[in-house]
Amino acid sequence: MVLVPLEGSVRLAEIMSSSLSALRGHDNPLGLGRVNKAAVMVVDGMGAGNLREVAGHARWLSSRWAKRALTADAGFPSTTASALTTLTTGVGPGQHGIVGYTVLDPDSRTLINHLGNWRPHVQPESWQRQPTLFEVAAQEGIASLSLGEPRFLATDFTAATWRGATFQGVGTLEEQLTAVREFFDSNERALAYMYWPSLDRTGHSNGSKSDSWIHRLEEFDQWCAGVESSLRGDEAMLITADHGMVDIPQETKMVVEEDSPLLTGVSAWGGEPRAAQLYLSRGDATEDVASAWRESLGPLAQVLTKTQAIDEGLFGPVHPDVVSRIGDVIIACEGNSAVYRGAHATSSSLAMIGQHGSITPREREVPVIPLGVWS
């Protein structure tokens, strides 16, 4: 089995859906009790393994986490676009369709960067196939709010993943808490989504073991200490993440140049350095290309054909409309390796230290920390 189950973990898809179930008074996989107002705070890049290693720098978070020691499995790909959509829809990538950081649109043959512009090649309301949990909540009269940086307002990703919620741009953690407090006070039943990307950005540029990363975590930990006291008797919050992070040294980054035989038959290269997806010009070359990559990478990666990946459940159940979006050959890096296509790799990507996207437990396992009524 490629995607080895994480012992004792719930699925990432069950976190926000359980919060909505609690608002509706229904049983849920997390065992959350009924509340009238709930928030989910997503800390981008705060993996369970990353947090455990520096627990002394996040004493408040670590002490609250220890009460239930709950974790979730982000699955594959362990990348922000896929994971956040899994959180807000309650289904995996094979159902919602955001199956990677960059994915080839089978109609236009254009690579779609899910954190960039999708249009005019694909439309947010159809490319992301599933109703969001915010849309489900609205059908039952539950108001929803999503919080993020102001620059996220007009993006295609926001239109696809947070649709059904009122989006509000906020610049700081303090502004997020103020916005949630005002939102809760204005509604009898309410579901809020909060998002903090600073830890992930610092990990990419400096590494998840750097002093800068630890400083960011300490900043968040200090903010969290004041959050619980702001929650009232019918309110609760979950603090979680979308993925963890692995630090990649320069010497373990493999750059594939255009004259390499590994690119024979490769018409497009999607995914990201830890989880590349290769799209081939000929379907009958799939096994040959996969075999060449397996021989080249050996234990540095799991190399699967599309059929193998679907059969293994790598993306969860896959809807027929999504099959054509998945690469013909998938390279899931293990250890601290990463693979780049030299002609298309940017200098910033090549310099990136903290990375994620692949199948390792460190990338997939995230903490789930209940606060308020749920603690």
Amino acid letter, residue 245: M
- In the chain, list all ranges with CATH 3.30.1360.180: 250-354
Q: What is the pLDDT of residues 79-114, one digit of tens each?
A: 999 999 999 999 999 999 999 999 999 999 999 999
In this prediction, residue 257 carries a pLDDT of 97
What is the predicted pLDDT for the residue at 126? 97
- Residue 80: partners with Cβ closer than 8 Å, 6 or more residues away: 44, 101, 115, 200, 242, 243
- pLDDT-derived band at 225, boundaries 50, 70, 90: confident
- What is the total residue count of the chain? 375
pLDDT higher than threshold 90 for residue 124: yes
Reply yes or no on whether the pLDDT at 204 is more than 90.
yes
Q: Convert the pLDDT of each residue in 138-197 to its tens digit.
A: 999 999 999 999 999 999 999 999 999 999 999 999 999 999 999 999 999 999 999 999
Instruction: Answer for the pair 243, 364: CB distance below 8 angstroms, yes or no.
Output: yes
Mean pLDDT of 69-80: 98
Average pLDDT over residues 51-66: 97
Separation in Å, CA 289 to CA 198, 231, 242, 330, 375: 38, 55, 31, 10, 50
Strand intervals (E) in the chain: 9-11, 37-43, 70-73, 102-105, 110-113, 143-148, 166-169, 190-196, 235-240, 246-247, 253-256, 266-272, 275-280, 301-305, 329-333, 338-341, 354-355, 365-372
pLDDT attached to residue 146: 98
Q: How far apart are CA 198 and CA 191, in angstroms?
A: 23
Percentage of residues of the chain with pLDDT beyond 90: 98
Q: DSSP labels for 310-328?
A: HHTTTTSS--HHHHTTS-S
The SS3 call for residue 336 is coil
- Please state, rounded to an integer, the average pLDDT across all residues of the chain: 97
Task: Give me the residues paired with residue 235 across strands.
Answer: 37
CATH fold for domain 9-246+359-372: Alkaline Phosphatase, subunit A (3.40.720)
Least confident interval from 82-91, 197-206, 223-232, 329-338: 223-232
Q: How confident is the model at residue 1 (pLDDT cuts 50, 70, 90)?
A: confident
Which of 23, 15, 13, 234 lies closest to 137, judged by CA?
Answer: 23
Query: Is residue 367 packed enough to be buried (19+ CB in 10 Å), middle (13-18) or exposed (0-12)?
Result: buried
Please state, in angstroms and as integers, the Cα–Cα distance from residue 296 to each residue in 109, 268, 327, 331, 339, following that order: 28, 19, 19, 12, 12
DSSP label of 90 = S
Interatomic CA distance for residues 35 and 196, integer angstroms? 24
70 close to 10: Cβ distance less than 8 angstroms: yes
- pTM greater than the 0.85 cutoff: yes
Cβ atoms of 374 and 238 closer than 8 Å: yes
Q: CATH for 250-354?
A: 3.30.1360.180
**Paired residues of 338 in beta bridges:** 253
